[in-house]
């Protein structure tokens, strides 16, 4: 339990921020999972559309400091590389 008024306010604030951060994290993780699933099923057109959504959620998470910007860039790069590699192998 917080001992001071400021500690109580900090607790309320961090609890609220945690909810928003988890929501943002959940969105980008679901988007990544959807792209990977589309790649496994060899649905490259759908994967490209889902990739745009994943980019959006990753950029938002990085902008809100939920994840580090370099992590967002790394995940986007790896997803794009995987999509390009598998699409080229399929042709």
- Answer for the pair 24, 59: CB distance below 8 angstroms, yes or no: no
Residue 45 backbone dihedrals phi, psi, to 5 degrees? -65, -45
User: What pTM value is reported for the model?
Assistant: 0.87
Tell me the mean pLDDT in the region 53-75. 97
Between CA 81 and CA 51 the distance in angstroms is: 11
Between CA 15 and CA 7 the distance in angstroms is: 12
Between CA 17 and CA 88 the distance in angstroms is: 42
pLDDT tier, 5 (very low <50, low <70, confident <90, very high otherwise): very high
Mean pLDDT, the chain, rounded, equals 96
């Amino acid at each position: 339990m917080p001992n001071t008024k400021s500690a109580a306010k900090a607790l309320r604030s961090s609890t609220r921020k945690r909810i928003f951060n988890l929501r943002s994290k959940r969105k980008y993780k679901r988007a990544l999972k959807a792209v990977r699933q589309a790649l496994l099923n060899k649905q490259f057109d759908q994967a490209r559309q889902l990739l745009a959504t994943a980019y959006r959620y990753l950029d938002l998470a990085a902008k809100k400091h939920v994840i580090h910007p370099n992590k967002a860039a790394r995940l986007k790069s790896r997803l794009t590389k995987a999509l390009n590699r598998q699409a080229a192998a399929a042709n």
